[in-house]
């Protein structure tokens, strides 16, 4: 370190231009509270690590992928069978996407149960939820890109749902599809969303989210407020532990990719009938199954529309959690929030399982 | 109609049945077949012989009665432009028609197959002549030993047909194009196919098989024996799924005529050997490819290529009807080449799978060693500088 700041050395040269000493100073004083739930702090970092893997493998896939209905499937098949380690890159990209959404959900619920959304972290919560929404958008748009039978019909079902939203539903569906139905224009559009629009927005939001985390530091749970907690240095203690977690994630990812390579399936045929038992990716299963349970009409309202309105209200209620979680005196209603978190988690797990097995 | 609707039993039945009759839908009434005054309310006037009332129609008169309309092209065109009008002409050439002309009223006429007052279109699944129902309709008489006894006709056709591949296709798979009685015997011109023309009858659907058979040494031999063609090996009504065992081994149909040591017997055994070899090779390739696929390997291209091998197998089975070993060997060799290629691809995929697993094991070992190293570094670090308690923030 001393050499980095030695007058006339490279460190000094960079420090003068980039202000590295301020960063070093910040890192040296950044600490992480130690308590029974410290382990949950690692999941934000694991999600970030998996996102980085997504970017790297995504760039590699871009070298061979061709976004057109006549070439998309064949190009993915080429990647998997002819390109050296192409199967591994594609499989890691697909598995990592699913693991990233899974760890993002763990991260979100850990924030809820540790009540880390409370003042002054409301915007951190909001930016995190937008990031989760963008991750789901990545999943939805990326699912279509191999242009196989299951992804084609799942996209058809997904965009049909958008069409049932009142007033602007048809325009939204048309915008997503690039036409009246899912076709070549949809594939091009989804590719654009997947590799340009969503990465741009995600990077922006990620900078805001991480910046706010640094700005406010690591949150301590409400039950430790006022108590003395042992503090772990972020650098190098927490960082080395986080590195271990990343290695563990890499081991899980590598094992899944090597033992259960992501299947390509059959090429999409828009004129073929929809395959039986079609269902979306696991993270959309809970709303999908809920919509299946709602009758076609409740009173005079269309069932699907009613379901979508219910989801919109639920999402709004969840997004506004930091604002309804505190009472007029500023105290957090921890029991209410924990109860709501448990209820939402139970709903997501139960309905996802029902959607998968039924 | 009004009077008979208020009667009981057989006098009421025609009115009840007629509600679903195709003729009722087109505006025909009782008087169109039975004569009489359709507008009269008084039964005496309505059924007045002076106004053409015929009452019960004699069985011998039925075909001609139906043909008054059904042989009238101009009339039929009004109701169904593509309807044939040659039913009576055909019927008169049939065994049924010829015997009826001699006064035998026990043979089938129009109403025996189509029903009397409840006649439906052939495509109506409730019609007795719908493809799915026709075999049972024919069997009503032809499986009735008492009915067939005067004609000295066997009554096992329907029972045999129900063991055939044709019945399976028709009844289990719902394939309405699968052969039923009328496909081979004709419908209105129903007659047994002459033994000499059996191959032609089968060849109406099995075109390539007929072509091969016509080139085979069997054709002139079977013709000299009095015909029989396809049925000599495959039987007539109870046609089972053919298999390689029909060529050689116990129960081989070839062995009915060819001694195993004869040239014909040796050729049959050679062809059976070639076909078995191809089937085994393709089945083994399938198994390897399925194992690779189940392991998550991308083998859709060799699986697709495997279809060429199965196609060659079909070609070989067709070529077998030429009864020349060379004709069978050509597609068999093509199929064997495909099977070898797809098997190699499947085995390569399985090798790749194993290599991946070895690579994974090495990677996991490296990861675990790195993690242990990191953990030791953390322990060493924290033993020198333990965590310091501070007041917790928000």
What pLDDT, in 10s, does the model give residues A37-81? 999 999 999 999 999 999 999 999 999 999 999 999 999 999 999
> Minimal Cα distance from B384: which residue of A?
A237
Given a cut of 90, whether residue B161 has pLDDT beyond it is yes
Section A165-179 average pLDDT: 90
A258/B360 Cβ within 8 A: yes
pLDDT tens for each residue of B6-15: 788 888 888 8
d(CA A98, CA A92) in angstroms, rounded, equals 10
Contacts B303 to A, Cβ<8 Å: none
> Residue A178 contacts by C-beta under 8 Å, 6 or more apart in sequence?
A185, A186, A188, A189
Reference A83, options A95, A69, A93; nearest CA is A93
What percent of chain B stands above pLDDT 90? 64
CB contact under 8 A, B394 and A229: no
Average pLDDT over residues A199-206: 97
Confidence of residue A1 (pLDDT cuts 50, 70, 90): very low
pLDDT of A2 strictly over 50:
no
The pLDDT of residue B163 is above 90: yes
The overall average pLDDT reported for chain A is: 92
CA distance B200 to B198: 5
Beta bridge pairs of residue A301? A298
Looking at residue A326, the DSSP 8-state letter turns out to be: B
Contact: B360, A87; criterion CB under 8 Å: no
Is B389 within 8 Å of A260 when comparing Cβ atoms?
no
Confidence at B42, pLDDT banded by 50, 70, 90: confident
From chain A, the residues in CB contact with B370 under 8 A are 247
- For chain A, give the number of residues: 358
Mean pLDDT, range B14-20, rounded to an integer: 86
Q: Is A106 part of the contact surface with chain B (CB cutoff 8 Å)?
A: no
Least reliable range by pLDDT among A268-282, B128-142, B309-323: A268-282
Superfamily of domain A39-222+232-272: Cytochrome Bc1 Complex; Chain C (1.20.810.10)
Structure tokens at B350: 């399985």
A274 pLDDT tier (thresholds 50, 70, 90): confident
pLDDT tens sequence across B264-278: 999 999 999 999 999
How far are the Cα atoms of A61, A80, A97, B360 from residue A84, in angstroms, in the given order? 12, 8, 21, 16
Interface of B with A in 157-196 (CB under 8 A): none
Q: By mean pLDDT, which of A192-201, A220-229, A278-287 is the weakest?
A: A220-229
Beta strand A301-302 pairing with A297-298: antiparallel
User: What pLDDT, in 10s, does the model give residues A309-330?
Assistant: 999 999 999 999 999 998 888 7
As a residue count, chain B comes to 394
Q: Residue B391: list chain A partners with CB under 8 A.
A: 226-229
Between residues A115 and A27, which one has the greater pLDDT?
Answer: A115
Phi, psi of B193 (to 5 degrees): -60, 140
B388: exposed, middle or buried (Cβ count in 10 Å: 0-12, 13-18, 19+): exposed
Find the CB nearest A229 among B371, B377, B390: B390
Q: Is the per-residue pLDDT at B195 higher than 60?
A: no
Asked if A11 contacts A3 with a C-beta cutoff of 8 angstroms, the reply is yes
Q: How many CB pairs under 8 A join A and B?
A: 93
Is B381–A236 a contact, with Cβ atoms under 8 angstroms apart?
yes
Q: What angle do CA B80, B85, B89 make, to 5 degrees?
A: 165
Q: Are residues B24 and B18 in contact, defined by beta-carbon separation less than 8 angstroms?
A: yes
Q: What is the per-residue pLDDT for A163?
A: 85
pLDDT, position A279: 83
Using an 8 Å CB-CB cutoff, list chain A residues near B394.
Answer: 118-120, 219-220, 225
User: Within 13 Å, how many C-alpha atoms sit on residue B173's CB side?
Assistant: 11
Query: Token pair of B90, please?
Result: 């055909």
Tell me, what's the pLDDT at B196?
A: 60
> pTM of this prediction?
0.75
**Of the ranges A181-185, A270-274, B156-160, B389-393, which one carries the lowest mean pLDDT score?**
B389-393
Contact status of B378 with chain A (Cβ, < 8 Å): yes
A200: exposed, middle or buried (Cβ count in 10 Å: 0-12, 13-18, 19+): exposed
Q: What number is the average pLDDT over the span B348-367?
A: 97
CB–CB of A77 and B381 under 8 A?
no
Rounded CA separation A191/A58 (Å): 12
Picking from A123, A61, A51, A56, the residue whose alpha carbon sits closest to that of residue A87 is A61
- Tell me whether residues B390 and A241 touch, CB distance under 8 A: no
Q: Which residues of A touch B389 (CB under 8 A)?
A: 228-231
B359 vs A contacts (CB less than 8 Å): 258
Chain B residues with CB-CB distance to A244 below 8 A: 371, 374-375, 378
B residues 295..314 contacting A (CB < 8 A): 296-298, 300-301
Give chain A positions within 8 Å (CB) of B390.
31, 228-231
Q: Do B389 and A220 touch (CB under 8 A)?
A: no
Q: Are A96 and A142 in contact (CB under 8 A)?
A: no
Please indicate whether, in this complex, the C-beta atoms of B360 and A219 are within 8 angstroms of each other.
no
Question: Are the beta carbons of B387 and A219 separated by less than 8 Å?
Answer: no
Residue A319's pLDDT is 96
Lowest mean pLDDT among B122-136, B202-216, B218-232, B282-296: B218-232
What is the pLDDT at residue B16? 85
Residues of chain A with Cβ-Cβ distance to B385 below 8 Å are: 233
* B360 vs A277: which has the higher pLDDT: B360
Query: Per mean pLDDT, which of A162-166, B37-41, B353-357 is the most reliable?
Result: B353-357
Between B298, B357, B359, which is nearest A80 by CB? Answer: B298
> What separation in angstroms does the CA of B150 have from each of B96, B142, B144, B153?
14, 12, 11, 8
Q: B363 in contact with A at a CB cutoff of 8 Å?
A: yes
Mark yes or no for CB contact B360/A255 under 8 Å. yes
pLDDT at B186: 87
Does any CB of chain B come closer than 8 Å to the CB of residue A245? no
CA A147 – CA A153 distance, rounded (Å): 10
Q: How many C-alpha atoms does A345 have within 13 Å on its Cβ side?
A: 15
pLDDT of residue B55: 82
Per-position b or e across A8-47, b if 16+ CB within 10 A of its CB: eeebbeebeeeeeeeebeeeeebbbbbbeebebbbbbbbb
Residue B356 pLDDT: 95
Contact B357, A259 (CB under 8 A): yes
Q: Is the pLDDT of residue B391 over 50?
A: yes
* Rama region for B62: left / alpha / beta (φ>0; ψ in -120 to 50; rest): alpha
Cα distance from A161 to chain B (closest Cα, Å)?
32
Q: Which residues of B touch A233 (CB under 8 A)?
A: 385
**Interchain contact A229–B (C-beta under 8 A):** yes
Instruction: Report chain B residues whose CB lies below 8 A from the CB of A232.
Output: 387
């Amino acid at each position: 370190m001393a050499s980095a700041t030695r007058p006339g050395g490279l460190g000094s040269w960079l420090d003068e231009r980039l202000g590295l000493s301020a960063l070093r100073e910040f890192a040296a004083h950044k600490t992480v509270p130690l308590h029974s739930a410290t382990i949950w702090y690692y999941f934000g970092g694991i999600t970030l690590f998996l996102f980085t893997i997504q970017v790297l493998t995504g760039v590699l896939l871009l070298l061979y992928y061709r976004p057109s209905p006549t070439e998309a499937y064949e190009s993915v098949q080429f990647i998997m069978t002819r390109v050296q380690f192409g199967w591994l890159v594609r499989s890691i990209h697909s598995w990592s996407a699913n693991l990233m959404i899974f760890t993002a959900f763990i991260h979100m619920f850990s924030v809820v149960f540790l009540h880390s959304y409370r003042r002054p972290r409301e915007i951190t919560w909001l930016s995190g939820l937008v990031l989760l929404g963008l991750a789901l958008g990545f999943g939805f748009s990326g699912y279509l890109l191999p242009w196989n039978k299951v992804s084609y019909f799942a996209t058809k079902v997904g965009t049909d749902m958008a069409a049932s939203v009142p007033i602007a539903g048809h325009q939204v569906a048309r915008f997503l599809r690039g036409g009246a139905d899912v076709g070549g224009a949809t594939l091009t559009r989804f590719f654009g969303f997947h590799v340009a629009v969503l990465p741009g927005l995600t990077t922006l939001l990620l900078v805001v989210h991480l910046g706010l985390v640094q700005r406010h530091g690591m949150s301590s749970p409400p039950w430790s407020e006022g108590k003395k907690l042992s503090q772990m240095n972020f650098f190098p203690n927490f960082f080395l532990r986080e590195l271990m977690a990343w290695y563990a994630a890499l081991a899980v990812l590598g094992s899944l990719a090597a033992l259960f390579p992501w299947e390509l399936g059959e090429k999409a045929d828009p004129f073929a009938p929809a395959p039986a038992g079609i269902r979306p990716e696991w993270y959309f299963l809970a709303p999908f199954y809920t919509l299946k349970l709602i009758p076609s009409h409740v009173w005079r309202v269309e069932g699907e529309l009613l379901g979508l309105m219910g989801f919109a209200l639920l999402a709004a209620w969840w997004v506004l959690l930091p604002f309804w979680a505190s009472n007029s005196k500023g105290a957090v209603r921890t029991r209410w929030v924990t109860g709501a978190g448990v209820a939402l988690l139970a709903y997501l797990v139960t309905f996802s399982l029902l959607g998968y097995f039924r | 109609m009004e009077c008979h609707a208020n009667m009981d039993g057989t006098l009421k039945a025609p009115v009840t049945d007629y509600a679903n009759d195709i003729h009722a839908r087109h505006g025909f009434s009782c008087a169109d077949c039975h004569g009489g005054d359709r507008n009269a309310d008084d039964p005496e006037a309505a059924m007045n012989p002076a106004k053409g009332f015929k009452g019960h129609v004699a069985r011998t008169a039925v075909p001609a009665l139906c043909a008054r309309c059904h042989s009238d092209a101009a009339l039929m065109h009004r109701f169904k432009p593509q309807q044939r009008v040659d039913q009576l002409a055909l019927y008169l050439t049939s065994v049924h028609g010829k015997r009826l002309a001699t006064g035998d009223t026990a043979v089938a006429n129009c109403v025996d197959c189509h029903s009397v007052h409840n006649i439906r279109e052939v495509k109506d699944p409730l019609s007795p002549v719908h493809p799915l129902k026709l075999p049972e309709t024919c069997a009503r008489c032809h499986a009735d030993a008492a009915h067939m006894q005067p004609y000295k006709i066997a009554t096992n056709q329907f029972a045999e047909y129900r063991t055939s591949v044709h019945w399976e296709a028709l009844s289990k798979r719902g394939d309405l194009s699968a052969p039923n009685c009328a496909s081979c015997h004709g419908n209105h011109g129903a007659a047994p196919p002459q033994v000499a023309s059996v191959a032609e009858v089968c060849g109406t659907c099995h075109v390539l098989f007929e072509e091969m058979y016509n080139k085979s040494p069997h054709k002139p031999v079977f013709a000299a024996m009095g015909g029989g063609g396809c049925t000599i090996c495959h039987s007539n009504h109870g046609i089972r799924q053919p298999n390689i065992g029909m060529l050689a081994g116990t129960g081989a149909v070839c062995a009915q005529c060819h001694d195993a040591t004869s040239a014909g017997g040796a050729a049959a055994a050679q062809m059976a050997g070639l076909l078995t070899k191809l089937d085994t090779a393709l089945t083994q390739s399938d198994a390897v490819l399925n194992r690779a696929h189940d392991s998550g390997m991308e083998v859709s291209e060799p699986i697709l290529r495997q279809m060429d091998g199965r196609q060659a197998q079909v070609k070989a089975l067709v070529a077998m009807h030429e009864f020349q070993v060379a004709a069978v060997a050509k597609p068999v060799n093509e199929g064997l080449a495909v099977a070898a290629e797809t098997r190699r691809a499947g085995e390569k995929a399985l090798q790749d799978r194993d290599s991946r697993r070895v690579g994974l094991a090495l990677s996991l070992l490296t990861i675990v060693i790195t993690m242990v190293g990191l953990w030791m570094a953390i322990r060493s670090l924290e033993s020198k500088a333990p965590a310091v308690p501070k007041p917790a923030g928000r």
